[in-house]
Amino acid sequence: MVVCVCNAIREHDVREAARSGATSACQAYRALGRSPKCGQCVPFAREIINSERAAA
């Protein structure tokens, strides 16, 4: 599933960044070499990161 259309970031990319230590959407995007543009994806990315952290 696409999380960020502006940056072509997929859900598995955000999950991997969270597993690698990203604790926020901005950290995950930086880990992927990108940054949020319009911001509509940030709440969904945050949700994914929180679910990965809860599962760890």
Q: Which two tokens stand for residue 46?
A: 């945050």
Query: What tens digit of pLDDT does each residue of 28-52 get?
Result: 999 999 988 999 999 999 999 999 9
Based on the structure, what is the number of domains in the chain?
Answer: 1
15-to-20, 41, 56 alpha-carbon distances in Å: 9, 14, 12
Helices assigned H by DSSP within 1-56: 11-19, 25-31, 42-55
CATH assignment of the domain containing 38 = 1.10.10
Q: What is the pLDDT of residue 54?
A: 92
pLDDT over 80 (residue 56): no
Mean residue pLDDT of the chain comes to: 94
Query: What tens digit of pLDDT does each residue of 1-34 get?
Result: 999 999 999 999 999 999 999 999 999 999 999 9
Domain around 48? 2-55
Q: For residue 4, report the phi and psi dihedrals to the nearest 5 degrees.
A: -125, 110
